[in-house]
Chain A
Amino acid sequence: DAKTTQPNSMESNEEEPVHLPCNHSTISGTDYIHWYRQLPSQGPEYVIHGLTSNVNNRMASLAIAEDRKSSTLILHRATLRDAAVYYCIRKTSGSRLTFGEGTQLTVNP
């Protein structure tokens, strides 16, 4: 089963950091960890991905546990625009993204 485990919902305050956890305890050595988010009434949007090392880009940081069984997406300063459903995905070299139900992030002003 390629699905991951995420909390159904999380809440944050504007301009504070947000840590979104993901459990992927059965991940194989070649699976990448991808994060996508879906804003209301839009298609999913790529956020970040990684394999073993921590990764940073302009949107977020991805911290991957040493055993690769879990990871955390970090939004350094949440804005109202970051309110979305965040999906953590194990991705093999095959064709598909296997989405779970994701974490609904609410950002309070």
Chain B
Amino acid sequence: ETGVTQSPTHLIKTRGQQVTLRCSSQSGHNTVSWYQQALGQGPQFIFQYYREEENGRGNFPPRFSGLQFPNYSSELNVNALELDDSALYLCASSPQRAGGYNEQFFGPGTRLTVL
């Protein structure tokens, strides 16, 4: 069973550019969540996708957007990058619509640096 994978591992962009991060969910999981983790802080929820539809969003501006594909893989897109967007971006998958009892399985993250 393959775990959650993310690509790329590291990425450097300049302010104002756009970036796309990718996530392959664990086999059999139909729900994907994205989190942003600034240095020294806990992850912050960006949004979740369930069966290709957005299913919950955190306190992030519209320039953060996402997609989920029929195979349940997902993309996170960030437009008009700002310096504060520099962070570790984590993807997590879970086996069904997230209930209070369902754990999430995290990938290793993509480290984004905005210069």
Contacts and interface: CB of A to CB of B under 8 A. Distances in A.
Are A and B a genuine interacting pair, yes or no? yes
The contact size tier of chain A is 20 to 34
Interface residues of B, number: 27
A93 B104 contact: no
Nearest to A45: B106
A17 interface: no
Contacts of A49: 101, 103
A38 to B, nearest CB: 8
B33 interface: yes
Interface in B45-98: 45, 48, 50, 55-56, 58, 90, 92, 98
A43 interface: yes
A45 B92 CA distance: 10
Contacts of A102: 42
Interface of A: 30-32, 34, 41-46, 49, 51, 85, 87, 91-102
